[in-house]
């Protein structure tokens, strides 16, 4: 079936200036097209910045008919929409100005996604997590809470669907007019998601929570990280291993968890600060446990190198081998006050197949997520 597009040309004449043309296009669906474009239940507007080929690819991949699409080279429209999608053609045409423009849009509270483009996020000065392995990276700063998403799927349609679902969640949150309340114990929250797949084997969804902890030390800042990685095998595949590592470019790794386990079904993590020993006057920070049935944890963390390295060896022959397994390591880091946190989190998932009575064809995929706070 063929999608039709209506183009509206708005021409404005200004003396001694010339003619300014703004092209805006809206996808139009007929009854047959509704088979492809469903409704999300939430009305939203997206501005796509890029050349025609990339615009067509992106707009076709947006799965919901109630997301209105605007196409323009003029980024000033960005402040009147819910979502801006930027492509490499727009980045290339705007050169270094694109960094400042993106920062202004994000700071205004609009969600921004960069599609299929190596973008210098670290030069924007934004609080952000992003992955160079992802086909699309997104960020939204709303009520001083940072929400990020990286999708490392080869399938553009699936990547765009996951991003659209993320955007709809944000729009619904804004529409509810609920304000974020900073946790008394944990402080400012930075939330990031990263989804990736081992094609033909399984998928992994990662949710990471970083907190700038509320504490009393005037000389240092403290950040805790809670990594939630969930691996799910495809039919006929099995979980085999899940590794989570985190390298710190600035600061000192104070404590982390879990540690090596054997013969236990629960792992414990305590990444809080202890009064009197960590330079703070009262105990602050999170702790948690998670289930590890038929899973052995090996701790390869190198404190001297400020590198967290926790590996989960999943017994593929047990029930946990063909159901969802969640790993939840964590850490707390100390930095000099007003120093920017910088690090890279790496997730590696391993799956296998069962062929003729044997577990074979082991396959692993790693994704790296850069975090700047």
Span 214-266, pLDDT tens digits: 887 889 989 999 999 999 999 999 999 999 999 999 899 999 999 999 899 99
Alpha-carbon distance of 363 to 372, in angstroms, equals 30
Alpha-carbon distance of 183 to 199, in angstroms, equals 39
Alpha-carbon distance of 187 to 181, in angstroms, equals 9
pLDDT at 17: 30
User: Which of these ranges, 39-48, 57-66, 140-149, 226-235, has the smallest mean pLDDT?
Assistant: 140-149
pLDDT at 244: 98
**Greater pLDDT, 356 or 24:** 356
Residue 350 forms beta bridges with which residues?
A: 241, 364
Alpha-carbon distance of 252 to 219, in angstroms, equals 14
Percent of the chain with pLDDT over 70: 87
Q: How sure is the predictor about 284, in pLDDT bands with cuts at 50, 70 and 90?
A: confident
* Average confidence (pLDDT) over 332-355: 95
pLDDT at 302: 97
Rounded to 5°, the CA angle 265-267-268 comes to 145
Q: Indicate whether 23 pLDDT > 50.
A: no
Q: Indicate whether 272 pLDDT > 60.
A: yes
pLDDT at 8: 29
Query: Structure pTM?
Result: 0.86
Q: How sure is the predictor about 15, in pLDDT bands with cuts at 50, 70 and 90?
A: very low
Instruction: Report the candidate in 335, 338, 330, 294 with the shortest Cα–Cα distance to residue 312.
Output: 294
Rounded to 5°, the CA angle 200-208-330 comes to 110
Cα dihedral: 128, 251, 306, 148 (round 10): -10
Ordered by where they begin, the domains of the chain are 1-181 (3.40.50), 184-373 (2.70.240.10)
Q: Indicate whether 33 pLDDT > 60.
A: no
pLDDT at 276: 77
Q: What is the DSSP string of 84-117?
A: EEEEHHHHHHHTTHHHHHHHHHHHTT-EEEEES-
**Greater pLDDT, 263 or 96:** 263
Q: How sure is the predictor about 187, in pLDDT bands with cuts at 50, 70 and 90?
A: low
Q: How sure is the predictor about 76, in pLDDT bands with cuts at 50, 70 and 90?
A: very high
Task: Specify the 3-state DSSP secondary structure of 39.
Answer: coil
Instruction: Report the candidate in 167, 209, 169, 216 with the shortest Cα–Cα distance to residue 189.
Output: 209
Q: How sure is the predictor about 186, in pLDDT bands with cuts at 50, 70 and 90?
A: low
pLDDT at 73: 85
Question: Omega before 258 cis (within 30°)?
Answer: yes
């Amino acid at each position: 079936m063929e999608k039709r597009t209506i183009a509206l040309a708005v021409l404005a004449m200004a003396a001694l200036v010339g003619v300014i043309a703004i092209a805006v296009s809206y996808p139009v669906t007929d009854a047959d097209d509704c088979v492809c474009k469903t409704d999300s239940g939430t009305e939203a507007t997206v501005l796509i910045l890029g050349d025609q080929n990339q615009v067509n690819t992106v707009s076709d991949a947006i799965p919901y008919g109630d997301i209105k699409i605007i196409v323009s080279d003029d980024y000033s429209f960005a402040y009147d929409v819910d979502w801006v999608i930027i492509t490499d053609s727009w980045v290339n045409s705007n050169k270094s100005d694109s960094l400042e423009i993106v920062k202004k849009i994000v700071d205004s509270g609009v969600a921004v996604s960069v599609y299929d483009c190596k973008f210098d996020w670290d030069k924007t000065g934004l609080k952000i997590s992003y992955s160079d392995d992802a086909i699309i990276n997104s960020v939204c700063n709303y009520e001083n809470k940072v929400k990020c998403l990286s999708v490392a799927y080869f399938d553009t349609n699936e990547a765009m669907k996951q991003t659209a679902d993320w955007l709809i969640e944000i729009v619904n949150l804004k529409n509810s007019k609920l304000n974020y309340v900073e946790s008394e114990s944990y402080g400012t929250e930075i939330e990031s998601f990263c989804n990736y797949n081992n094609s033909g084997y399984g998928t992994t969804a990662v949710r990471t929570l970083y907190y700038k902890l509320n504490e009393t030390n005037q000389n240092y800042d403290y950040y805790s990280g809670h990594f939630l990685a969930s691996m799910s095998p495809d039919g006929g595949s099995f979980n085999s291993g899940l590794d989570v590592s985190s390298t710190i470019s600035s600061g000192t790794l104070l404590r982390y968890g879990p540690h090596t386990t054997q013969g236990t079904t629960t792992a414990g993590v305590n990444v809080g600060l202890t009064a009197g020993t960590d330079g703070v006057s009262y105990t602050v920070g999170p702790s948690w446990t998670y289930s590890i049935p038929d899973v052995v944890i090996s701790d390869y963390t190198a404190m001297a190198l400020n590198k967290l390295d926790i590996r989960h060896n999943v017994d593929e022959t047990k029930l946990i081998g063909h159901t969802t397994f969640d790993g939840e390591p964590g850490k707390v880091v100390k930095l000099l006050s007003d120093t920017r946190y910088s690090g890279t989190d790496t997730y590696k998932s391993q799956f296998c197949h069962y062929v003729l009575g044997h577990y074979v064809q082991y396959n692993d995929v790693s994704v790296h997520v850069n975090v700047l706070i």
